[in-house]
């Protein structure tokens, strides 16, 4: 039995014929000994066309693919040729086969892959086509020094269980050496081994491999991007796999935001992650501790802004938990002074809260504010500016519940301030007076709530006493 993988999604029918006259090269023997595969190739005397690649496949006792390797065939002598590939083969490898490939159509592609489930690794064989080298070498021209760099193929691996459900993600940067591309006139094959770094509890039955090039990413989604999220997956253990590709020529920090939406497209969960990517590379990140019950996760890269710090997004769930994502662009670790405005179902502001959100310099982070009142149906979140001394940023009186909220910031030493509260009825008549002693700590924002004991009060005024 001989297997040959057909490239091309549009192929609907395949025919094969045995040639009457031997006019090319053929494989006459394949053996493997420890870390080397030997391939005997016979090249006919009348042969005028040499094969381009040699591909070797290996299988387990259960006929499952577990190994693949390759080599570039640059020249063959007439008669018998003994070729060999030094490689690390799986422990459960039972038999191998090989085939020769001719470069009728040249392309950058994944040729084949195989999963070694004993060592948790995937063998990937791929080709890279650089037309520039082919064109220059055919014309016997001089190669531009600016083209003398290695080419990268970015591999994305998707793991599936026995029911074809996605259960894991991984990635690899596959390097094609520039000298090898020159020696093969711009068309080379190579094999890499991807060590899977998913949790031991995740055991995919099979893997599917996709590839991307630098040029392909430049036109990803029909626009030039520096980096993008290619794929993500949340397993039933709460591990979120994220595959990201960086197209920039420099390494840098990317900010990820993770959102979950319900069936009505309402956001119900929010989180974030800082990821540092190497230049022109693909990588996989695993975030643990994400609620496994989430079903509609969305992951995006947040574009930074030229401002010291800002709130990216927020989300209020049904349990009264407010998730806030913020970025600190300053040169020091800092507290973001966050003011939270709460609104009822009619859109009236009825509640004020605050949070001192500690974010390291140059990073994104998430905080959770618990116990938002159930009657708050919508919130607005913003960062207050740092101002010298003690400042009353806002006051709000909830007439229905007779609660007075005061937001105070203090960019200075801790102190106590006395606030006089005057209450008036619907006709503007003075009906209530009290004093409130506010303890304001150093360099924070605070939300103070005062219960107004007089039911006649419809509006209030406050005055800070010296």
Q: How does pLDDT run across 29-51, given as a tens digit for each residue?
A: 999 887 889 999 998 887 777 88
**If you ran DSSP here, which 8-state letter would residue 220 be given?**
G
Closest listed residue to residue 390, CA positions, set 301, 461, 465: 465
At 69 the pLDDT is 96
- 179 phi/psi in degrees, rounded to 5: -70, -35
Beta bridge pairs of residue 245: 228, 282
At 19 the pLDDT is 53
At 376 the pLDDT is 97
What Cα–Cα distance (Å) separates residue 154 from each residue in 107, 167, 169, 249, 358?
Answer: 15, 20, 14, 15, 36
Q: What is the pTM of this model?
A: 0.78
Listed in order, strand segments (DSSP E) in 47-162 are 53-59, 65-72, 79-86, 95-101, 109-116, 121-129, 151-160
Q: How far apart are CA 271 and CA 312, in angstroms?
A: 11
At 241 the pLDDT is 94
User: 179: part of which helix (H) or strand (E)?
Assistant: helix 178-183
pLDDT digits (tens, 9 = 90+) for 356-409: 999 999 999 999 999 999 999 999 999 998 888 899 999 999 999 999 999 999
Residue 100 near residue 54 (C-beta atoms within 8 A): yes
Question: Is it the case that residue 223 has pLDDT exceeding 80?
Answer: no
pLDDT digits (tens, 9 = 90+) for 435-446: 999 999 999 999
Per-residue pLDDT band for 251 (boundaries 50, 70, 90) equals confident
Average pLDDT of 56-61?
Answer: 95
Beta-carbon contacts of residue 197 (< 8 Å; ≥ 6 apart): 170, 284, 286
Q: How far apart are CA 287 and CA 199, in angstroms?
A: 11
Residue 134's SS3 state is helix
Decide: residue 232, CB within 10 A, 0-12 exposed, 13-18 middle, 19+ buried. Answer: buried
- pLDDT, averaged across the chain: 89
Beta carbons within 10 angstroms of residue 421's beta carbon: 20
Average pLDDT of 165-179?
Answer: 94
Residue 102's SS3 state is coil
Residue 218 CA to chain centroid, in angstroms? 17
Residue 113 near residue 160 (C-beta atoms within 8 A): no
Q: How far apart are CA 191 and CA 123, in angstroms?
A: 7
226 or 96: which carries more pLDDT confidence? 96
What Cα–Cα distance (Å) separates residue 19 from each residue in 22, 101, 127, 229?
Answer: 7, 16, 27, 48
Question: Is it the case that residue 21 has pLDDT exceeding 80?
Answer: no
214 or 369: which carries more pLDDT confidence? 369
At 309 the pLDDT is 85
Average pLDDT of 450-464?
Answer: 95
Residue 229 CA to chain centroid, in angstroms? 5
At 236 the pLDDT is 87
Average pLDDT of 138-160?
Answer: 93
Per-residue pLDDT band for 1 (boundaries 50, 70, 90) equals very low
Average pLDDT of 191-217?
Answer: 86
pLDDT digits (tens, 9 = 90+) for 65-114: 999 999 999 888 889 999 999 989 999 999 999 999 988 889 999 999 99
């Amino acid at each position: 039995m001989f297997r040959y993988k057909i490239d091309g999604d549009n192929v609907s029918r395949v025919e094969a014929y045995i040639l009457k006259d031997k006019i090319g090269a053929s494989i006459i023997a394949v053996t493997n000994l420890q870390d080397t595969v030997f391939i005997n190739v016979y090249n006919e005397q009348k042969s005028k066309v040499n094969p381009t690649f040699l591909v070797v496949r290996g299988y387990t006792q259960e006929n499952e693919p577990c190994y693949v390797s390759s080599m570039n065939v640059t020249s063959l002598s007439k008669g018998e040729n003994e070729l060999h590939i030094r490689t690390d083969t799986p422990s459960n490898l039972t038999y191998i086969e090989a085939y020769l490939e001719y470069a009728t159509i040249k392309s950058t592609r994944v040729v084949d892959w195989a999963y070694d489930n004993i060592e948790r690794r995937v063998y990937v064989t791929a080709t890279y086509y650089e037309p520039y080298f082919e064109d220059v070498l055919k014309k016997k021209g001089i190669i531009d020094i600016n083209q003398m760099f290695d080419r990268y193929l970015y591999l994305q691996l998707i793991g599936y269980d026995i029911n074809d459900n996605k259960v894991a993600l991984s990635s690899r940067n596959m390097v094609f050496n520039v000298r090898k591309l020159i020696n093969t006139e711009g068309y080379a094959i190579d094999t890499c081994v991807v060590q899977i770094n998913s949790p031991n509890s995740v055991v995919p039955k099979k893997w599917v491999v996709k590839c991307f090039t630098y040029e392909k990413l430049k036109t990803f989604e029909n626009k030039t991007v520096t980096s993008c999220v290619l794929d993500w997956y949340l397993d039933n253990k709460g591990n979120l796999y994220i595959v990201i590709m960086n197209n920039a020529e420099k390494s840098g920090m990317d900010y990820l935001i993770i959102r979950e939406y319900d069936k009505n497209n309402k956001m119900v969960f929010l989180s974030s992650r800082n990821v540092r990517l190497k230049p022109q590379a693909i990588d996989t990140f695993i975030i643990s501790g994400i609620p496994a019950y989430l079903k509609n996760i969305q992951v995006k890269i947040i574009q930074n802004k030229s401002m010291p710090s800002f709130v990216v997004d927020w989300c209020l769930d049904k349990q009264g938990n407010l998730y806030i994502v913020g970025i600190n662009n300053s040169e020091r670790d800092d507290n973001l002074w966050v003011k939270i405005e709460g609104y009822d179902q009619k859109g009236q502001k009825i509640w004020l809260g605050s949070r001192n959100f500690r974010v390291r310099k140059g990073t994104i982070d998430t905080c959770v504010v618990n116990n938002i009142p159930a009657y708050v149906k919508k919130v607005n979140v913003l960062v207050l500016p740092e101002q010298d001394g003690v400042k009353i940023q806002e006051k709000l009186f909830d007439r229905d519940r007779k609660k007075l909220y005061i937001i105070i910031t203090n960019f200075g030493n801790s102190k106590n301030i006395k606030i006089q509260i005057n209450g008036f009825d619907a006709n503007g008549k003075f009906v209530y007076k009290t004093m409130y002693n506010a303890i304001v700590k150093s360099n924070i924002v605070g939300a103070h709530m005062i219960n107004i004991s007089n039911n006649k009060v419809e509006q209030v005024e406050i005055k800070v006493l010296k």
